[in-house]
Structure 1
Amino acid sequence: MNITIKFRGDDGFHNRLLSYLKQHLPFQILSLTPLRKNVYIVSLKDGFQFVLKGYSSLRRLKIQEVFTQSLKKAGFDYSYSFYSLPNEHRLFFESQYFGFLEYLRRGENTFYYDSMDHCQEGLTLLQSFHIASEKLVDSYRTILPAFHLIDKWEERLQQFQANAHVLSSFLQKEVIEGLIYWAEWSLTGLRQEKESLYSFPNVILHGDVAHHNFFRISTGELYLIDFDLISTGPSIADYLQYSNRILPFLSWSIKELSSFQLLQSYFQHPVFLYALAFPTDIFREWNRLVKEHTYNDVRKVRSVMELTLGQLDERLAFYKQLETNIN
């Protein structure tokens, strides 16, 4: 047996977990390899592998198990499945419930938002996910939280404003004030168009469409993974987040973004244009930096500074073009 550590963590915890698994699983375990916090690859002596993932509550684990199963029944096959143990035996170790996920072997062509083809491929997969999740939304309405875009962004703006005294050590006053201006402009428009916001199909939202949650498997197919942030809400919320994720790779070009056929209809709605002007990614990262007190970490600060300033001129020109288009 061995343990392969890919990130800094508690070696003692990994050894205790391995010992616990050997005692409670009817398998011969060869290795336990951490992928990220609370996620491990378990390799068995017969060559079989699966992913072990920890959840803070049994309810969270059960929702993930049932939801991925529901997705498959609704016709969405491009994700993993959960395995179940005999007699519904549950692994509970040091305040976490562990689930068993299908191991997906990574393909050579890693997915990233580095080309128009990749951006289109991810968008098409997200649309397929929504088509399936729309069939499930009524069944999960009382189980999953409802997503309220305006409330979430108002809170994010308030946190950014409250953190301004810390941020002033890193950003010029004009930059902070400019970002706040566009956030307030965006929210004003969203409040005016609130009824339109909820006119889009109600689906189960993925909630985290970062490139690393689109996974290329060894056969070349693209899978959608990690449903920890699912909620119910209008489909536009996922497409807004997706647009925000790919815009840096499109150099903040309205022409490039609107060239995706799936998004073209959204550009006819002012609510979509107002929402595109909210600097949610910048606010999220600075707020996290302050919350976690990691603003003394040079590497992390450099990353957030690059996010903020690296394409600031292009971003501001994009916002101004949105304003022109609405007017």
Structure 2
Amino acid sequence: MALEKNIRKVKDNVWKLQEGEASYSLKKYKTRSTAVKVEYVHRQLQTIRFPHIVPIISTEDPLYIMQPWIEGTKPVNFRKRVDRTDSLMALQALHETKEMIDWDASPYLHRYQLIDKWQERLERFIDNRNASENYLGKKTVDEIILYGKKALPLIKKQYRQPFGQTLLHGDVVHHNILRDENGMIRFIDFDLACTGPPGTELALWMHRVLPNIGYNLEFLLAEQSALNDLDNASKSMLLYPNELLREWLHLLNLPKNKQYNLARKLIPFTESALSSWPKLWYDVERNMN
């Protein structure tokens, strides 16, 4: 697709396109398979008038996805109760689309392989432990690895691939969940969309939320009563130190000068998480049926 002079680059693969008074987001994908998947998901959701997305517009190049540029949107803030409540409700609504769309029959969506993904993530952290120790020290790295090794067998014991798979967004980080000027929650970046049990993604959402509320599981369950219906498999996922492993592996992939800047934020984040983990572990096990 030819890029016109009225296009402003936002980041490496995203541009803002201005046509008269209308503005659009233009995103280029590395692979056609991902672009086709993202378009398929949006087309299906648009068919049932699902409100929590930004509609897509056809382009001539299959590697590009175009959407209206919605001014005034802000990422949700998981420290705010209203954003926790509204983002959870929107996520549950996304999962409930399985009642109208047979996502599991889609040729474009793969099953979410949580166990394999988390096993591989822990192994990569162990393989790179020396680099992590330069920032955290041996004792802290040992502690992260211990929790990972203890959690995985418990998750495997509980985890099943039940019937009733649905669409999972795949990356429920706060900046992929926007609130527009009218207060509507909108999901963006369905690049990692897949199918799986709804409880899996609710647990991943909880992983994102818990650091923002002092890892207080009892508080979150009291505030968001729907989470009390999670099965043991989903609850057991909270035992795995997913955020710590992912963030440190991300840091180790950065250039050295950027590593030090991020480490200044990650070290206190890690200390807070590990100091809270024994109580979190106790609360999770107590809440499992």
Is this a same-fold pair by TM over 0.5? yes
TM-score by length of 1: 0.81
Question: Which of 249, 252, 258 does residue 221 from structure 2 map onto?
Answer: 258
Partner Cα separation in structure 1 for residue 52 and residue 122 of structure 2: 35
Query: Secondary structure at the residue paired with 2:93?
Result: helix
Query: Secondary structure at the residue paired with 2:10?
Result: strand
Partner Cα separation in structure 2 for residue 297 and residue 138 of structure 1: 40
Q: Does the CA contact (< 8 Å) of 2:25 and 2:66 recur in 1?
A: yes
Question: Which of 74, 81, 90 does residue 61 from structure 2 map onto?
Answer: 90
1:158 aligns with 2:123: yes
Q: Does the CA contact (< 8 Å) of 1:209 and 1:241 recur in 2?
A: yes
Question: Which of 170, 176, 186 does residue 141 from structure 2 map onto?
Answer: 176
Partner Cα separation in structure 1 for residue 194 and residue 257 of structure 2: 31
Q: Return the structure number with greater relative CO, CA threshold 8 A, min gap 6.
A: 2
Superposed displacement of residue 129, structure 1: 0.6
Superposed displacement of residue 156, structure 1: 0.7
Query: Secondary structure at the residue paired with 1:168?
Result: helix
Matching residue of 1:222 = 185
Matching residue of 1:244 = 207
Partner Cα separation in structure 1 for residue 229 and residue 108 of structure 2: 31
Q: What value does the CA root-mean-square deviation take over the aligned residues?
A: 2.2
Partner Cα separation in structure 2 for residue 200 and residue 209 of structure 1: 23
Question: Which of 11, 23, 28 does residue 36 from structure 1 map onto?
Answer: 11
In structure 2, do the counterparts of structure 1 residues 185 and 258 end up closer, same or farther at CA, with 3 Å as the change threshold? same
In structure 2, do the counterparts of structure 1 residues 67 and 272 end up closer, same or farther at CA, with 3 Å as the change threshold? closer
Instruction: Determine what percentage of the aligned residue pairs are the same residue.
Output: 23
Superposed displacement of residue 208, structure 1: 0.6
Question: Letter of the aligned partner of 1:72 in structure 2?
Answer: Q
1:59 aligns with 2:33: yes
Q: Does the CA contact (< 8 Å) of 2:252 and 2:259 recur in 1?
A: no
Q: Max radius of gyration: which structure?
A: 1
1:287 aligns with 2:249: yes
1:302 aligns with 2:278: no
Query: Secondary structure at the residue paired with 2:122?
Result: helix
Gaps of 5+ in 1: 1-16, 23-28, 92-96
Query: Secondary structure at the residue paired with 1:83?
Result: coil
Query: Secondary structure at the residue paired with 2:136?
Result: coil
Gaps of 5+ in 2: none
In structure 2, do the counterparts of structure 1 residues 56 and 83 end up closer, same or farther at CA, with 3 Å as the change threshold? same
Structure that is richer in helix per residue: 2
- CA offset digits 1:127-169 (Å, max 9, x no partner): 01111146231331x3222111111111111111111111111
Q: Does the CA contact (< 8 Å) of 1:200 and 1:235 recur in 2?
A: no
Partner Cα separation in structure 1 for residue 123 and residue 288 of structure 2: 25
Question: Letter of the aligned partner of 1:242 in structure 2?
Answer: W
Partner Cα separation in structure 1 for residue 83 and residue 163 of structure 2: 25
Superposed displacement of residue 125, structure 1: 0.3
Matching residue of 2:110 = 145
Partner Cα separation in structure 1 for residue 163 and residue 159 of structure 2: 11
Partner Cα separation in structure 2 for residue 323 and residue 151 of structure 1: 23
Matching residue of 1:126 = 91
